[in-house]
Amino acid sequence: MIDINKFTRKNIKKLIPYQSARRIKDNGDIWLNANELPFVQKKTFLFNNLNRYPDKEYKVLLQSYSQYIKISYKNILATRGSDEAIELLIKAFCEPKKDYIMIFPPTYDMYKVYANILNVKVISILQLKNFQIDLINLKKLIQKVKLIYICNPNNPTSTLINRTDIIEILKFTKNKCLVVIDEAYIEFCLQQTAIDLMYKFDHLIILRTLSKAFGLASIRCGFIIAHINIINVIKKIIAPYPLSTPTLQIAQSFLVKSNLIILQKNILELNKNKKILIQELKKLPYIEKIFPSSTNFILVCFNSSNKVFVQLLKHKIVTRDQNFKVLLKNCIRISVGTYKECMNLINIFKVIQIK
């Protein structure tokens, strides 16, 4: 047998891969672990000219997204989900073994995973107990940092970073490093977007995705929004034809006015379901705390997250245990599902025994 370790890079040998929702468990009837939109998309598509590489479709998508966010299409780059955007930024701006990225755990794991893959160092500054950024330590440790990743709203806590803190960070980091704000969940609290700050801070980069509120997780489409000089650097390293014709056409079709109205209706419905879910969960004796939520998921602290997680799995309900993460002992992240899924979850919570 081949000894593949002889050929594998040292940092990859040590790498702990990201455990996606589908990798962790694949036996469930109700999926509340990946923060997907629970509503099934009912559109039907027919694609022609699949023998040709996409060309015009890419520009059409950028123009449609430009109209949606009110930013020039020249400041937008479409990527294979916002995950690819995270990777591309580290590839473009960080020297392996020399430069650092900065993150604020507990947060999205892929910032650190991509840095580890690309052999870029990571400075992790724990969030404060109220899930805000520790500005004092940020300022102390900024020297070798090229990229700061801020997830807002944050995953897995579902909390928002204070806008005044974001502005202070942007002022402090000007001409020092690039600041990346990952707005994967921003459609659930659109008034909190930092897009307007791009006009004042040209080192600000914003990441968006169609995977969450738009309900298009399977097509893998995201966006980098940044100053044109940053976009031009990323264009140098992004793969040719990164998005397929089906992906481009499906994404564009969901940005028309009629579908944006449906988007808002879906968000309103999810918020109603979330409110009901939180009200019912508060009645359970084995829940310690339900954290404020600005997204389509909630973070719940139990007296024993492992027992709850296992009991839910026995009833074919898949959630995301966060107990292994810093500051999140005995916490479970629960995606908000359809009304029926939420009621099923509530009924199961009422019957399971947690001692």
Choosing from 256, 281, 299, the residue where a domain stops is: 256
Listed in order, strand segments (DSSP E) in 261-321 are: 287-290, 297-302, 317-318, 320-321
Q: What pLDDT score does 24 carry?
A: 58
Q: Which neighbouring-strand residues pair with 122?
A: 101
Q: Does some domain include residue 45?
A: no
Choosing from 256, 274, 298, the residue where a domain stops is: 256
Same domain, 107 and 242: yes
What b/e readout covers 213-237, taking b as 16+ CB neighbours within 10 angstroms?
bbbbbebbbbbbbbbeebbeebeee
Q: How far apart are the first and last CA of the chain?
A: 49
Q: Does some domain include residue 48?
A: no
Q: What pLDDT score does 39 carry?
A: 86
Same domain, 29 and 129: no
Range of the structural domain that residue 63 is part of? 56-256
Residue whose tokens read 């719940």:
300
Same domain, 248 and 266: no
Q: What pLDDT score does 84 carry?
A: 97
Distance CA 122, CA 119 (A): 9
Same domain, 232 and 200: yes
Same domain, 238 and 270: no
Q: Which two tokens stand for residue 294?
A: 């600005």
Distance CA 283, CA 186 (A): 29
Task: Indicate the pTM of the whole model.
Answer: 0.92
Q: Does some domain include residue 138?
A: yes
CA atoms within a 13 Å half-sphere pointing along the CA-CB vector of 159: 19
Choosing from 211, 228, 256, the residue where a domain stops is: 256
> Is residue 151 within a helix (H) or strand (E), and if so which, with residue range?
strand 145-151
Q: Does some domain include residue 44?
A: no
Q: What is the CATH number of the domain that holds 273?
A: 3.90.1150.10
Same domain, 119 and 230: yes
Concatenated DSSP letters for 3-57?
A: -GGGTS-HHHHT------HHHH----SEE-SS----SPP--------TTS---HH
Q: What pLDDT score does 19 carry?
A: 66
Q: What is the mean pLDDT of each run of 10 residues along the chain (355 residues)?
A: 73 73 65 85 76 88 97 97 97 97 98 97 97 98 96 98 98 97 98 97 98 96 97 94 93 95 96 97 94 98 93 92 96 97 95 79
Q: What pLDDT score does 42 carry?
A: 72
Q: What is the CATH number of the domain that holds 86?
A: 3.40.640.10
Question: Minimal CA–CA distance to 89: which of 273, 226, 209?
Answer: 226
Q: What pLDDT score does 352 carry?
A: 87
Same domain, 89 and 215: yes
Question: Minimal CA–CA distance to 163: which of 123, 195, 125?
Answer: 195
Same domain, 60 and 136: yes
Three-state secondary-structure class, residue 87 = helix
Question: Minimal CA–CA distance to 253: which of 284, 298, 215?
Answer: 215
Same domain, 247 and 288: no
Q: Does some domain include residue 148?
A: yes
Q: Does some domain include residue 112?
A: yes
Q: Does some domain include residue 165?
A: yes
Q: Does some domain include residue 328?
A: yes
Question: Please, what is the Cα angle at 194 between 188 and 198, to 5 degrees?
Answer: 145
Same domain, 251 and 263: no
Same domain, 30 and 141: no
What angle, 0 to 180 degrees and rounded to 10, lies between the N-to-C axes of helices 81-93 and 228-237? 90
Same domain, 74 and 30: no
Residue whose tokens read 């609290």:
189
Q: What share of the chain is helix, strand, coil (3-state, %, to 5)?
A: 40, 15, 45
Number of domains into which the chain is organized? 2
